[in-house]
Structure 1
Amino acid sequence: MHYTSFYQSPVGEILLASDDVGVVGIWFKGEKYYAYCLDKEYEPKETQSIREMKRWLDVYFQGKQPDFEPPIHMIGTAFQQEVWHILREIPYGTTTTYKEIARKIAQSKGIESMSAQAVGTAVGKNNLNLIVPCHRVVASNNSLAGYAGGIDKKITFLKLEGAFKDEYFVPKHSTAP
């Protein structure tokens, strides 16, 4: 059973979902994969995991790195889990590339290469925005494309963390400001 609650953030409404293990979803209203993986039947209820997630978000949106982590429950394929584990290792205030994540996975598997596009697909299916920091991943050419919550939010989060660089650019097809 999933439980849900809403959080009002500086970038808009966020839907939070948890199960008995921890937070399973953090989705921005209107994002590409909104409520992806949410049970068809769920109960509006502020669980302990959701309360802790809201406290984490309060700290994060004050421009500080939270020094605690609410319980989370990452639900996905083995490959997605591997990618998400690497995302969680990206330090606050820094970025990495899809290519670098692909290189790390290839190295861990003892293979020559891994598709950065496959990594990008897994990154896009991350249900735990912010706490599993997919916004910290950029393309090798410094493009900020590829954020399900919207490029404008990705820019906001990178600036909030002090990770935004002048050399980043937004592709012309983007709707970012």
Structure 2
Amino acid sequence: MLMGSDGVSLTELCLEDWWWAKTNASECTAGDTNLPVFQQTRQWLAAYFAGGCPSIDSAPPLAPHGTPFQKEVWQLVAEIPYGQTVTYGELAAELAERRGGGRMAAQAVGGAVKHNPITIIVPCHRVVGAGRSFGGYGGRLDVKAELLEHEHVDLSRFDLGPMQQ
């Protein structure tokens, strides 16, 4: 995994082969790889992959780069509980409600989710399509499936089709 920081907060966390990942890991982790934020990130990830349910409250300070709209969506995504999924449409409806009503397009929310620069901690893998649709994932769909299986989500309700390996 690649981590990026502004020296205090985590700005990026992704798998090396993700479509938007920095091409050079040293650019992503520019500076001291022993920064407290990187140590805290490694501890959070170790707890997660050991089967724990670390919360966003125990995460390192986060400072993802994005538009105000993207940051608003990512905040909603960060609130999705461990082991649960929500649809793009449900996120759009919640965002519209928090903004005081009106409508919000699920496609706009999907675009913001797709550009989430801090994976796993901001759990975009928990966002799925409507019905039996699995939705996309900035990494690979097989990784999304593995993360959801790790969280004991029943994937039998989704039409997974052939996934990239």
Task: List alignment gaps of at least 5 residues for structure 2.
Answer: none
For the Cα contact (< 8 Å) 2:12–2:117, is it kept in 1? Answer: yes
Which one of the candidate residues 54, 60, 73 is aligned to 2:48? 60
Residues of 2 paired with 1:84 and 1:164: CA distance? 24
1:72-83 alignment, distance < 5 Å: 72-83=62-73
Residues of 1 paired with 2:129 and 2:86: CA distance? 8
% identity of equivalent residues: 35
Task: List alignment gaps of at least 5 residues for structure 1.
Answer: 1-13
For the Cα contact (< 8 Å) 1:145–1:171, is it kept in 2? Answer: no
Greater strand content? 1
1:136-147 alignment, distance < 5 Å: 136-147=126-137
1:1-177 alignment, distance < 5 Å: 14-35=1-22, 42-43=30-31, 45-66=33-54, 68-172=58-162, 174-175=163-164
Pairwise CA RMSD: 2.1
For the Cα contact (< 8 Å) 2:9–2:62, is it kept in 1? Answer: yes
Greater helix content? 2
For the Cα contact (< 8 Å) 2:145–2:155, is it kept in 1? Answer: no
1:138 CA displacement: 0.3
Residues of 1 paired with 2:68 and 2:120: CA distance? 21
